[in-house]
C-alpha cells in the first residue's frame, strides 16, 4: 500500500504594522476586498468571513473586465486570535496562516497544500503576489474600505433602476445622506456628473464624478474624481487624494418579479461609520418609493 504525499508550499512577508492591525486587515472582509488579488486586472468584489472553528469563508475573485471569475472558500479548523488559524479548502486541501512579531513588524506565513492542476512554482508566485499586495495595502497611509449593502425590492429591475436614478425620486431617497441632495449632469456612460447639496448662502458642495459604466437596468459604476467646494471643482491636492479614484457601484439582480439591489462602494475609514448608518436608511427609503404605488 502506498500513499501520495501532498506537496506543501510556504510563502512569507514581513509587514511593518502592529500585530492587531495586521490581523484585522488580513481577516476582515472590508479589507480583504482591497488586497486579495494577484494582479491589477483582478479584484475581489465580495468577501464573507466567519472566523471561528467550524466557521466558513468565501471570497469572490473576478477579472475586472468580467471575462472570468471563481469563488474561493473553506472551513476553519483552529483559530488563535493574533497567532494563527487553519482551514480546509473546498477541495480538501489544508492551509495555515500564522502571525509572528519580529523586529521589523509582523511576519505573516502561509503554508498550504498544492493543487495538482498547475505547477508548484506558479501557485507559489500567485499566492505570494497576493500576500505582497496585502503588505502594500496594510502599510499604506491612504486607507480605503469596501462597503456592501443590499435590499430586496418588490419591483422589477427596470422600475428600481428608474426610481434610483431619475432626479425627483433620486432627491427623495438620497435625503438620508444630506438634505437637499441632487445631481447635475446625466447618467450617460462616460459622462461627468456632480453630486451636490446646497451649502450656506446657496453655495454648492459635493462630489465631482464620472459614470464609468451604465448598463440599463443591470449595473451602474461611478468613479469619484474630486470635490465640489462652494461651486469650485477641486481635483488635486490633499483634500481629495485619500479617496480620489474610489468607486460606487449599483447592481440590479432580478429575483423572480422582484429585484435584489446591491451597493458596493469604497469609503475612507473617516466616513465608514457614516455610510454604515446612512445607506440602510437610504435603501429603505428607495424601497418605500418603489413599492408605494403597489
> Which DSSP category does 16 fall into?
S
Domain count, the chain: 2
- Is residue 240 included in any domain, yes or no? yes
Assess whether 59 and 179 both reside in one domain.
no
- Is residue 1 included in any domain, yes or no? no
Assess whether 134 and 253 both reside in one domain.
no
- Is residue 246 included in any domain, yes or no? yes
SS3 68: coil
Domain boundary among 139, 156, 182: 139
- What CATH number did the domain enclosing 45 receive? 3.30.530.20
Assess whether 239 and 150 both reside in one domain.
yes
* CA-angle at 265, arms to 148 and 260, nearest 5°: 45
Identify the pLDDT of residue 145: 82
Assess whether 202 and 232 both reside in one domain.
yes
Is the pLDDT reported for residue 2 higher than 50? no
- Is residue 259 included in any domain, yes or no? yes
Assess whether 177 and 134 both reside in one domain.
no
Residue span of the structural domain in which 30 resides: 8-139
- Is residue 14 included in any domain, yes or no? yes
Q: What is the pTM of this model?
A: 0.62
Higher pLDDT, 141 or 197: 197
Q: How far is CA 219 from CA 113, 130, 249, in A?
A: 38, 28, 7
Q: What is the pLDDT of residues 66-75, one digit of tens each?
A: 888 999 999 9
- Is residue 51 included in any domain, yes or no? yes
Assess whether 91 and 59 both reside in one domain.
yes
Is the pLDDT reported for residue 200 higher than 60? no
Assess whether 111 and 18 both reside in one domain.
yes
For residues 28 and 171, give the distance between their C-alpha atoms in angstroms, rounded to a whole number: 33
Domain boundary among 89, 118, 139: 139
For residues 266 and 277, give the distance between their C-alpha atoms in angstroms, rounded to a whole number: 15
Identify the pLDDT of residue 277: 95
Assess whether 220 and 287 both reside in one domain.
yes
Q: What is the pLDDT of residues 101-145, one digit of tens each?
A: 999 999 999 999 999 989 999 999 999 999 999 999 998 765 778
- Is residue 207 included in any domain, yes or no? yes
Which of the residue ranges 124-138, 151-165, 191-205 would you say has the lowest mean pLDDT? 191-205
Per DSSP (E only), the strands in the chain are 8-15, 42-49, 56-63, 69-80, 84-89, 94-102, 105-113, 144-153, 182-185, 192-198, 204-215, 219-229, 232-234, 247-255, 258-268
Domain boundary among 114, 139, 164: 139
Assess whether 55 and 123 both reside in one domain.
yes
Assess whether 25 and 130 both reside in one domain.
yes
Assess whether 55 and 184 both reside in one domain.
no
- Is residue 277 included in any domain, yes or no? yes
Assess whether 208 and 236 both reside in one domain.
yes
Task: Give the three cell numbers for residue 223.
Answer: 468613479
Amino acid at each position: 500500500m502506498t500513499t501520495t504525499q501532498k506537496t506543501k508550499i510556504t510563502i512569507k512577508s514581513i509587514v511593518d504594522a502592529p500585530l492587531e492591525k495586521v490581523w484585522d486587515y488580513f481577516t476582515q472582509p472590508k479589507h480583504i476586498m482591497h488586497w486579495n488579488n494577484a494582479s491589477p486586472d483582478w479584484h475581489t468584489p465580495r468577501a464573507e468571513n466567519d472566523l471561528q472553528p467550524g466557521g466558513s469563508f468565501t471570497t469572490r475573485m473576478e477579472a475586472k473586465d468580467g471575462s472570468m471569475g471563481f469563488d474561493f472558500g473553506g472551513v476553519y479548523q483552529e483559530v488563535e486570535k493574533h497567532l494563527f488559524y487553519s482551514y480546509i479548502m473546498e477541495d480538501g486541501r489544508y492551509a495555515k496562516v500564522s502571525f509572528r512579531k519580529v523586529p521589523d513588524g509582523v511576519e505573516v506565513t502561509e503554508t498550504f497544500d498544492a493543487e495538482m492542476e498547475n505547477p508548484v512554482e506558479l501557485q507559489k508566485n500567485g499566492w505570494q503576489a497576493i500576500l505582497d499586495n496585502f503588505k502594500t495595502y496594510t502599510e499604506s497611509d491612504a486607507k480605503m474600505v469596501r462597503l456592501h449593502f443590499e435590499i430586496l425590492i418588490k419591483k422589477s429591475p427596470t422600475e428600481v433602476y428608474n426610481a434610483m436614478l431619475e432626479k425627483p425620486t433620486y432627491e427623495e431617497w438620497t435625503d438620508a445622506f444630506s438634505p437637499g441632495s441632487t445631481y447635475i449632469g446625466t447618467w450617460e456612460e462616460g459622462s461627468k456628473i456632480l453630486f451636490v447639496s446646497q451649502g450656506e448662502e446657496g453655495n454648492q458642495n459635493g462630489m465631482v464624478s464620472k459614470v464609468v459604466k451604465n448598463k440599463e437596468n443591470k449595473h451602474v459604476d461611478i468613479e469619484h474624481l474630486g470635490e465640489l467646494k462652494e461651486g469650485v471643482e477641486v481635483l488635486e491636492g490633499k483634500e481629495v487624494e485619500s479617496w480620489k479614484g474610489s468607486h460606487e457601484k449599483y447592481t440590479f439582480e432580478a429575483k423572480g418579479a422582484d429585484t435584489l439591489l446591491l451597493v458596493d462602494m469604497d469609503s475612507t475609514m473617516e466616513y465608514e461609520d457614516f455610510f454604515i448608518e446612512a445607506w440602510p436608511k437610504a435603501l429603505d427609503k428607495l424601497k418605500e418609493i418603489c413599492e408605494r404605488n403597489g
